[in-house]
A and B are shown apart, each in its own frame.
Chain A
């Protein structure tokens, strides 16, 4: 079933595929990215060359990539999944040895034309391999302990490799995305109840073991959590980010201070204003109206993606769409919660809006996977 040609029940071929693309999703992605260009132009103080133009170039590149992936038959991606996962693991391993440590402690490999963050790739590879796993696994067996253990290992290995980078934010995203695929695949609720209880227990023990030789987190990670819980503890140090971020958000008011008029970002009170904290600039300049519009756009992306997942009768395709969509959701929800002071500052960019090449490419590639699953779904 297609929006443009409801008559056909055949999987489209060749350039006709373009008619079967989920166009609302494409338009929403373009709209959100457009927001991003606008904000990058603004935080650079009206300098288009600083962040907006490179971002646009990557976006164009990403769109080509998206269409390329979208037009490639889904069964290719299905077979590519395990390779992608293994490749991702190798890259993660490589980055721990050869990578460059940069801002936010995330590691990347410089490929010349782009700085590749293997952890970004891993998010998608993990979803792919789990979708493949559950497509292969007979439905009756999904809740059997052994078959639950296998995906847990698949999730745990890359997550641990990312944690030691150290990049707690991405590790959490990996665990959550993987968990969502398991959830969609129908793993019993009890496992999730158990996992959530374990997580709570783990958090408690993490804090109990603080400042003992067995402490789990690095000191700066503990401090980040402290300041999250009470930013006033250290208003000029670690709490500075969150305090300034909330000031920027709140000072926008209903309609904002106007495009290019945000004082918090223009005067550099905001940290990492072009990356993780770009949402605050949006809030400052366009106010509650602007942030609500962005939130609605994100919500619409989720609605279209989930409905595409529900409509998809191919188990791999459905799980892939659902998993990728959930990853996207965790991205923006965690980022917003972080800048609003609802979550610790863990260094998660705002998807499609924050400045950053590899995130943009990976996200658009992921949307290509959604489109591929959508175009090539059984009818």
Chain B
């Protein structure tokens, strides 16, 4: 009895001891686990909480609505148009290929496009909407919407897209928007995160580009909670962005439309501006292009057509074209002499068709010569010899100074890209540029707007406005931002003697209103709207002795070697309102090609509509009636905006 009892006791105690040892080890493990739990949940808790939030919270950008652009009368020039589109969500579609095939019976959707869409969907997460069709017609869109119950996963959406209702008329001024490129990102030092939104569009040229900062608006943010595969579960918060600012331009749609029409067929530019305020009423450059082609990715053939044309449709010739201004700058040359007191306006200079300088001959445009010329006659008949003479008295540096006072040699302050400042040469410039001394012949050329001198149509219009108003007017393109008028101050005086300015104005009056005036045929008859102007014919190629002897026929010269035709003018003569400049590239002579165009556009600006036939000289009535009858009806444009109506 004792032995088994002892044995049993022994056995029992051994299990107890081992059980306690085991329990102790387990307790140690449990303590270890508890310590680890404390470490993770108390000590490092904040760090893990942060990681958990990073996991689930995403800030998404809300696309801001781009500001609209209006003309001075509140007509929409750039707007955001509803884009009827169809997207598809794979996980809702069931058999996606079959649904696409069903859809193809309602809208045009060729097999290869369907395959592309299907592959795109396979690449993305199943809940990501993939674009199936964009910019559908309302008919197609509503047909799909009506059949939506039979098309699982198909969603009809209305997005916003930039559109330019006036098409080609504003292709250069307003420009267009397009997808953000690497170059765009580099251009901005601090790229707005909104640029990273897929399909976001940014201003590429024109006002769209230069006013990008205010047109774009400010992106809002939307804080969403996502799950592990990135699906949005709910919206946690929203911070609405700001709509881009609406711009009202100084442009007048009717005039712009007419100017573009009038220049059609030529490689040409025309600028109409208010001589007092500087408001630019028309900024026409032909040929243009349809900016709408660019917003949705341009077709290769259209693009190639644009870049291969020698008429350079992509360039805005009004501001980036630099042309030898020819005789249109003669007023500036004359004023330089008058202001310095280097010539008496009544002094007569004899023109025999050329002057000789050393062994070189400088020809007047009129081979036979003008005979005796005083200042106003010199202007009226555009006698080159007169200006050759006085320029030698002035010298290039003083001429350049006067040119700068009229806006040459500096970029007009306009919100447009690639503005040219033209070229106003002086002695220092030539030395810096060519390491050659200035020659007297250079001065003679500069006096008649040839040689090194270059100016843009915009600069010529500014010059004309300054002559007409006697004030240093600056061109202005933006009239209101978000309905708030841009401040407009009276431009400072040109500090040029009134009598000298009046003399120039008189000369310009004679150019277009007196017989023998170079633009007499393009005069305005209506006495309250008399136009004063100046023609210019600028050589693009030196005329050789051989050419002269051959008797030079413009029509036989290749297009690109023909003269540029220019005209500047303002009206009405007694109470100037508008200044105009017209440049027709390789158009021939200023009086034959540019002046009639300028007159037509000016009349349109003055009347605000089709002018009465009586405004034209009687000899032209027949032709003008025909021209007016062929005029297309004015582009009706989009409906007037409520708030920005001028």
Residues of A within 8 A of B (CB): 139, 180, 183-186, 244, 246-254, 263-264, 266-269, 283-284, 287-288, 291-292, 295, 298-299, 302-303, 306, 309-310, 313, 315, 318-319, 322, 326, 329, 333, 336-337, 340, 342
Contacts and interface: CB of A to CB of B under 8 A. Distances in A.
Interface in B44-60: 44-49, 51-53, 55-56
B45 A253 contact: yes
A254 B45 contact: yes
A254 B41 contact: yes
A183 B38 contact: no
Closest 3 CB pairs of A and B: A250-B48, A251-B52, A267-B227
Interface residues of B, number: 44
Given A249-B48, A263-B55, A267-B228, 7 more contacts: A249-B41, A250-B47, A264-B55, A284-B52, A315-B15, A326-B22, A329-B29
Contacts of B30: 295, 298-299, 302, 333
A185 B48 CA distance: 45
A154 to B, nearest CB: 19
Contacts of B51: 247, 250-251
A287 B49 CA distance: 12
Interface of B: 7-8, 10-12, 14-16, 18-23, 26-27, 29-30, 32-34, 36-38, 40-42, 44-49, 51-53, 55-56, 225-229, 233
A263 B37 contact: no
Nearest to A319: B15
A267 B233 contact: yes
Nearest to B55: A269
A313 B19 CA distance: 13
A247 B53 CA distance: 10
A184 B225 CA distance: 53
Contact of B38 (A139, A288, A309, A326): A288
A295 B22 contact: no
6 contacts: A249-B37, A250-B49, A250-B52, A267-B233, A299-B27, A337-B36
Contact of B33 (A244, A266, A295, A319): A295
B15 A186 contact: yes
A284 B52 CA distance: 10
B432 to A, nearest CB: 61
A186 to B, nearest CB: 5
Nearest to B36: A340
Contacts of A268: 227-229
A252 B7 CA distance: 53
B10 A139 contact: yes
Contacts of B34: 292, 295
A251 B15 CA distance: 43
A283 B41 contact: yes
Contacts of B21: 183
A302 B31 CA distance: 14
A325 to B, nearest CB: 9
A319 B18 CA distance: 11
B42 A254 contact: yes
B58 to A, nearest CB: 11
B52 A310 contact: no
A139 B7 contact: yes
B369 to A, nearest CB: 89
Given A306-B22, A326-B22, A269 B37 contact: no
Given A254-B42, A310-B20, A336-B33, A267 B15 contact: no
A319 B37 CA distance: 31
Nearest to B30: A299
A45 to B, nearest CB: 10
- Most B CB within 10 A of own CB, among A252, A313, A326: A252
B55 A267 contact: yes
B229 A310 contact: no
A165 to B, nearest CB: 27
Contacts of B26: 302, 326, 329, 333
B578 to A, nearest CB: 66
A185 to B, nearest CB: 8
Contact of B55 (A247, A250, A322): A247
A250 B40 contact: yes
Nearest to B10: A139
Nearest to B47: A250
A267 B225 contact: yes
Contacts of A319: 15
Contacts of A322: 15, 19, 22
Contact of A180 (B14, B22, B44, B229): B22
Contacts of B46: 253
Nearest to A134: B15
Most buried by B among A184, A251, A268, A319: A251
Nearest to A284: B52
| Max chain B C-beta neighbours (<10 A), residue from A247, A250, A253, A267 | A250
Contacts of B23: 302-303, 306
Given A267-B55, A267-B227, A337 B33 contact: yes
A250 B44 contact: yes
Contacts of A333: 26, 29-30, 33
Contacts of B33: 295, 333, 336-337, 340, 342
B15 A250 contact: no
Given A264-B52, A267-B55, A295-B34, A184 B44 contact: no
A181 to B, nearest CB: 10
Contacts of B42: 253-254, 288
